[in-house]
């Protein structure tokens, strides 16, 4: 199998050939499918590749970097146990809202 850096570079080159108004959405969709299987180091490397290739086009780079950063933040929250019973003050019998 090819190294991840080569695969991501191949994807970025292909997306670079698409119409400009489709690039950000396409990259976000591609990464959204890949992220669950990527390590944190892979995500960081991909983030750097996106910034390097699209640094002059913030409307493409920013949404993709936001997606990658958000995914890493979510992993961190889940790893740190945000849903611990001790930190959850919510009463399970309580309704979400009253009508």
Element (H, E) at 8: helix 4-16
At 97 the pLDDT is 41
- 33 lies in some domain: yes
Overall number of domains in the chain = 1
Q: Of 88, 64, 55, which Cα lies nearest the Cα of 8? A: 64
Please state the pTM of the whole predicted model. Answer: 0.75
At 82 the pLDDT is 62
DSSP string, 22-74: HHHHHHHHHHHHHGGGS-HHHHHHHHHHHHHHHTT-HHHHHHHHHHHHHHHHH
pLDDT in single tens digits along all 99 residues of the chain: 567 778 888 989 999 899 989 999 999 999 999 999 999 999 999 999 999 999 999 999 999 999 999 999 999 998 887 655 455 554 555 554 443
At 79 the pLDDT is 85
- 73 lies in some domain: yes
**Domain span at 58:** 20-79
**Contact between residue 61 and residue 50 where contact means Cβ atoms under 8 Å apart:** yes
And the tokens for 21? Answer: 């108004």
């Amino acid at each position: 199998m090819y190294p991840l850096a080569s695969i991501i570079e191949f994807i970025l080159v292909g997306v670079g050939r698409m119409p400009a108004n489709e690039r950000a959405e396409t990259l976000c969709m591609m990464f959204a499918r890949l992220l669950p299987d990527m390590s944190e180091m892979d995500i960081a490397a991909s983030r750097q590749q996106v910034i390097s290739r699209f640094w002059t086009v913030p409307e493409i780079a920013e949404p993709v970097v936001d997606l990658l950063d958000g995914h890493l933040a979510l992993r961190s929250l889940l790893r740190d146990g945000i849903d611990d019973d001790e930190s959850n003050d919510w009463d399970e019998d309580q309704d979400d809202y009253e009508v």
